[in-house]
Structure 1
Amino acid sequence: MTLHKQCLIVFLFYTFIQLCAQERSSIPEVQELLDKMTLDEKIGQLNLLTPGGGVATGAVVSKDVENKIKSGQVGGLFGVSGPDKVRIAQKIAVKDTRLKIPLLIGSDVIHGYKTTFPIPLGLSCSWDMELIEKTARLAAIEATADGINWNFSPMVDIARDPRWGRIAEGAGEDPYLGSAIARAMVQGYQGTDLSHPNTMLSCVKHFALYGASQAGRDYHTVDMGKIKMFNQYLPPYKAAVDAGVASVMTSFNDVDGIPATGNRWLLTDLLRNRWGFNGFVVSDYTSLNEMMFHGLGNLQDVSALSLKAGLDMDMVGEGFLTTLKKSIAEGKVTEEEINRACTRILEAKYTLGLFDDPYHYLDSSRPKKDILTPKNRQFAREVAARSFVLLKNHKAILPLRKNAKIALVGPLADSRNNMLGTWAPTGNPDLAVTVIEGFKKVAPTATIAYAKGANITDDKALAKKVNVFGPRVVIDKRSPEAMIKEAVDVANSADVVVAVVGEATEMSGESASRTDISIPKSQKKLIRALVATGKPVALVLMSGRPLSIPEEYNMPVAILQVWHPGVEAGNAIGDVVFGNYNPSGKLSATWPRNVGQIPIYHSVKNTGRPNPEGKYEKFKTNYLDVPNTPLLPFGYGLSYTTFAYSNLRLDKTEISGNQSVNATVTVENTGDYDGEEVVQLYLSDVVRSITPPKRQLKGFKKVMLKKGERKEVTLTVSSDDLKFYNGNLEFIAEPGEFVIYVGTDSNAELSSSFILK
């Protein structure tokens, strides 16, 4: 044998040893089980099914689920809950199968379980990470009490196009804020010990770039370069991975021309090799099968492609179940690749403690003591109030006197079905508090007269689409004119008018994109008529997205944005409208003047022909019909009091290496109410090797100030905050000047600079 052949044999031997070592689990019990499994049993673990009963987000519901569990063809279920129901499924898995492998039980617990909190976009407007983590913790306690051990949350997709309905499910437009929220939610769901029966696996989604779908249309194509991807869209996913998230869900869109579910660069090169993720990856609902419509081949082709790319579990589509064995026989995939995926799923089950006790999430006494308790509902009420954003307060219309004579009008003022918000499949809208109920509870001495005033929309075709999950839009038998007349009559007899208007819950969310994001015409007519009475008017605005409201904003009204507030909606709205709580929310997404400005966000770059602020110049970057500026900037939000900023100072003017800079500012409550303020810090990199944004959020702190109180607030800029991904995708900071801006929103004016040497 030649020396060359001997060297080749040695090389192949050590390569084989290394590959084997990579495929073996670090958990001996998992490896021992894997060694006993047949190929069919391994493939079965890669199959996630739903027996129906939950909210289906596709046309497919799994069939013959019980027999598939008995045959060892199911690794997990979703759409089933309750200790008794889950016990039946789990018992089949551990009693009627050869190896007695327990099931993962998943669910979409997006913004609370039975105790429903505000939609995630609303939660993000609290800018309160401790509060957000507590909502995830409570959601985990409730969901696990019902036998669920895996949660398809958080959704961390950056969204800068409010036409996209799923902007409601995320944290808005900013990667820094979004990353902080991703960490908080993962920590809340998973706690410190995943084997504890009140913690659950978290699943960050949708990996990746789903929020950048073209034209704001759901499931659509994404086209994005890697510099923008790494700097603006990927950070929240990475933050979740760094926080130890147990699983990742792929997105429906393509990334660089390859659908995410079969994208090896995304699922292996980036997620595992670059970021060090060691959990398991699950497809979104039939997204594996949908790769066929993308033009990637038949079901066998796309199943093999996805497995090799790094997908571990197939949700509902059964492509793995029905094709992988054939693909092995044809050499399209290897059993080692199946072993790898199966190992990851078994390790997750081991981490949850399911092999020690498959039923330890199934304590029948827990639902009564843990789910939707009075204490939980009180917390939901407090959370909702902290998510509201005061957009305008003409002549201090708000807060209202508790003994006022109030005309409460609008199609959402007494609409229980629209309080929970989109993607609340585990909540019960019948248990939600309406606005009129909340007003009567918070202000029992007020005189309240109600009139519907308008339909949410008069468009019957639109109403049919919105009502897919139940009656969200109810079109009155009366004419629009008769309803408006009734509302005007009620308004004329009142001291003040509160109009509860906006979107129905399913006008945003999945498969709920809109090209017109203004208030529906039926309600715009109502608002005009109410303002024409000359009475003070406060708009309580509900929506799952930023809306285009230039007409309403220019009216002499107060506007309180309440999103869809959850199960305690009416009580929380009453608390803020009547002054029990001073609103402190800040927008986490920019509000455009009209859809023609979209996409619009705060961390834009300069062009070579910047337009002067507040001035039109020909041959500069601008519009003919509206200013470049948004209607309402990122970070914006008023209070019933006022705050003054002064005396910004930095503790260093030059730094090097891993040094940080502390920025201290004086904040004073100069108004008549105690209140909370979110102090925000933005950073500008003046000169660098790739074009920088004008400014980026790099710090914030929520502080409470009593009337007349003054505080020194310090925010720290770390060395990592100065870094960015350059043209080679290296995460670096470049020497030069940096400017710090501190203030109440992204238009912060106080500034100071330092040099990185």
Structure 2
Amino acid sequence: MPAYLNAIEKGVSTVMVSYSSWNGVKMHSNHKLITGYLKNKLNFTGFVISDYDGLDRITTPWGANYTYSVLTGILAGIDMVMVPFNYTIFIDTLTSLVNQKYVPMTRIDDAVRRILRVKFTAGLFEHPNANYSLVNQLGSQEHRDLAREAVRKTLVLLKNGKSDQTPLLPLSKKAGKILVAGTHADDLGNQCGGWTITWQGQSGNNETIGTTILDGIKKTVDPTTQVVYNENPDSNFVKSGQFSYAIVLVGEPPYAEFVGDNLNDLKILEPGPAIITNVCGSVKCVVVLITGRPVVIEPYVPMVDALVAGWLPGTEGQGVADVLFGDHGFTGKLSRTWFKTVDQLPMNVGDSHYDPAVVVVVEVVVVAFSPSPSNWWSMLN
């Protein structure tokens, strides 16, 4: 619980309960963790809110015994309930449970006290409406520059070179002709993933504004370098193109929450695998994975020269190009081991069945001075 303790010490005001279960107990009904641990042991003084329709999901099927769900959730320690539709039923149900003394007024008083404390502290009674004075800064260049920096710092180098003598990265900016391919090369929606303007997000460049990774590449390379973009080239096109190297950007379509659940698979959808095969089987290539999580990549690792976890870089695709071409070095690290197959899960360093999917190939260079980030890669070469 270190992250929670740190947040509570910093004064976080609200905690949302998740849909998940712990040892078979739905979190929305877990008195031991919500009240016993969060409120009592960690001394959390803010309020606990349910997730969207969270009480309904305590039972299987959802909403099978709504009275039981309300009773269990409130007694577990939930102070504010997110009811998106039938809120009058919730109010009537909880009122009845209080009148029948199944829910004591001390529990209601505790919830109300916590909610009012947060609202008073936030100044909502004095200033109930949003402050629009900073709206003109949303999406400002300063914000985009910070987002671009975040992209650079989160990229993870998974492989660099088919042997330790032949690293591909950083890429040359002065190559004669390069190929950029893949479903995620010129698609802001795919870069951003879910919760972008809409809940699930949407592929394409119509939902928001920003810089695609393709645009970032074009802005980074030398003016004399020819950048050819082909989303899904066949092998003949690649072989006949006389490309110095290729950048392949593939990954997952946008999704949010349970819509993206697919633990039994976690594979890159077509045409992603075909693009990797067609391109990397014909020319030196770096594959950048645009995903919200690790995916199965083991079948493709041997054929690629370099492999990068790009995650979801959002609107600032220039940050990906910054690192691929060596203006900044790789600094991101995996928080957990990247698996070969989903059958290995859960797996992490130290487990008896530890068998990671990729091994990073890096060069270690000792220098007698401190280079600036802008020329770090050039000195490695």
Shorter-chain TM range is 0.7 to 0.9
- Per-residue CA deviation, residues 587-626 of structure 1 (Å, 9 max, x unaligned), is 112111212211111253x6xxxxxxxxxxxxxxx6xxxx
In structure 2, what is the Cα distance between the partners aligned to 1:672 and 1:593?
A: 37
- Per-residue CA deviation, residues 286-312 of structure 1 (Å, 9 max, x unaligned), is 111222326897222221222222110
RMSD: 3.0
| One-letter code aligned to 1:396 | P
Shift of 1:548: 2.1
What residue number does 1:505 align with? Answer: 254
What residue number does 2:293 align with? Answer: 545
SS, match of residue 559 in structure 1:
strand
Whether contact under 8 Å (1:674, 1:707) holds in the other structure is: no
In structure 1, what is the Cα distance between the partners aligned to 2:343 and 2:107?
A: 48
- Per-residue CA deviation, residues 98-148 of structure 1 (Å, 9 max, x unaligned), is xxxxxxxxxxxxxxxxxxxxxxxxxxxxxxxxxxxxxxxxxxxxxxxxxxx
Of 372-381 and 440-449, more deviation after overlay is shown by 440-449
| One-letter code aligned to 1:449 | V
What residue number does 2:238 align with? Answer: 488
What residue number does 1:448 align with? Answer: 227
Counterpart selection for 1:642 from 327, 346, 364: 364
Whether contact under 8 Å (1:389, 1:562) holds in the other structure is: yes
Whether contact under 8 Å (2:329, 2:377) holds in the other structure is: no
Change (3 A) 1:431 1:410: same
In structure 2, what is the Cα distance between the partners aligned to 1:306 and 1:403?
A: 62
What residue number does 2:135 align with? Answer: 367
In structure 2, what is the Cα distance between the partners aligned to 1:336 and 1:440?
A: 63
| One-letter code aligned to 2:109 | N
- Per-residue CA deviation, residues 482-532 of structure 1 (Å, 9 max, x unaligned), is x4257525x6332111111222232x7433122222333532222222233
Whether contact under 8 Å (1:590, 1:630) holds in the other structure is: yes
In structure 2, what is the Cα distance between the partners aligned to 1:305 and 1:595?
A: 35
What residue number does 1:393 align with? Answer: 160
| One-letter code aligned to 2:57 | E
Shift of 1:440: 1.4
Counterpart selection for 1:527 from 269, 273, 276: 276
Whether contact under 8 Å (1:503, 1:543) holds in the other structure is: yes
Shift of 1:407: 0.9
Whether contact under 8 Å (1:388, 1:562) holds in the other structure is: yes
Rg larger for = 1
What residue number does 1:338 align with? Answer: 108
With CA pairs under 8 Å and 6+ residues apart, which has the higher RCO, 1 or 2? 2
What residue number does 2:211 align with? Answer: 433
Unaligned runs of 5+ in 2: none
- 1:575-614 to 2 correspondence within 5 Å? 575-604=322-351
Counterpart selection for 2:356 from 630, 653, 657: 630
Whether contact under 8 Å (2:148, 2:319) holds in the other structure is: yes
- 1:153-172 to 2 correspondence within 5 Å? none
Unaligned runs of 5+ in 1: 1-233, 454-482, 607-621, 623-627, 644-667, 677-703, 709-757
Shift of 1:320: 3.9
Change (3 A) 1:397 1:674: farther
SS, match of residue 431 in structure 1:
coil
| One-letter code aligned to 2:324 | V
SS, match of residue 101 in structure 2:
coil
- Per-residue CA deviation, residues 55-81 of structure 1 (Å, 9 max, x unaligned), is xxxxxxxxxxxxxxxxxxxxxxxxxxx
In structure 2, what is the Cα distance between the partners aligned to 1:504 and 1:673?
A: 39
**Structure 1 residue 350 corresponds to structure 2 residue 120:** yes
Counterpart selection for 2:15 from 232, 235, 248: 248
- Per-residue CA deviation, residues 82-103 of structure 1 (Å, 9 max, x unaligned), is xxxxxxxxxxxxxxxxxxxxxx
- 1:555-704 to 2 correspondence within 5 Å? 555-569=303-317, 571-604=318-351, 628-632=354-358, 642=364, 668=366
Whether contact under 8 Å (1:429, 1:567) holds in the other structure is: no
- 1:149-548 to 2 correspondence within 5 Å? 234-293=1-60, 298-316=65-83, 318=87, 320-359=90-129, 361-363=130-132, 365-368=133-136, 370-394=137-161, 395-404=166-175, 405-425=177-197, 429-445=207-223, 446-453=225-232, 483-485=233-235, 487-488=237-238, 492-506=241-255, 509-514=257-262, 515-533=264-282, 535-548=283-296
Whether contact under 8 Å (1:402, 1:443) holds in the other structure is: yes
SS, match of residue 271 in structure 2:
helix
In structure 1, what is the Cα distance between the partners aligned to 2:197 and 2:59?
A: 29
In structure 1, what is the Cα distance between the partners aligned to 2:113 and 2:119?
A: 10
Shift of 1:451: 0.7
Could you tell me the TM-score, scaled by structure 2's length? Answer: 0.85
Shift of 1:671: 12
Larger proportion of strand? 1
In structure 2, what is the Cα distance between the partners aligned to 1:451 and 1:705?
A: 28
Could you tell me the TM-score, scaled by structure 1's length? Answer: 0.45
Aligned length: 363
In structure 2, what is the Cα distance between the partners aligned to 1:270 and 1:376?
A: 37
Shift of 1:314: 0.5
Whether contact under 8 Å (2:288, 2:307) holds in the other structure is: yes
Shift of 1:348: 0.6
Shift of 1:349: 0.6
Change (3 A) 1:274 1:430: closer
Whether contact under 8 Å (2:47, 2:114) holds in the other structure is: yes
Whether contact under 8 Å (1:419, 1:432) holds in the other structure is: no
In structure 2, what is the Cα distance between the partners aligned to 1:295 and 1:552?
A: 41
Change (3 A) 1:526 1:257: closer
Whether contact under 8 Å (1:246, 1:279) holds in the other structure is: yes
Whether contact under 8 Å (1:261, 1:288) holds in the other structure is: yes
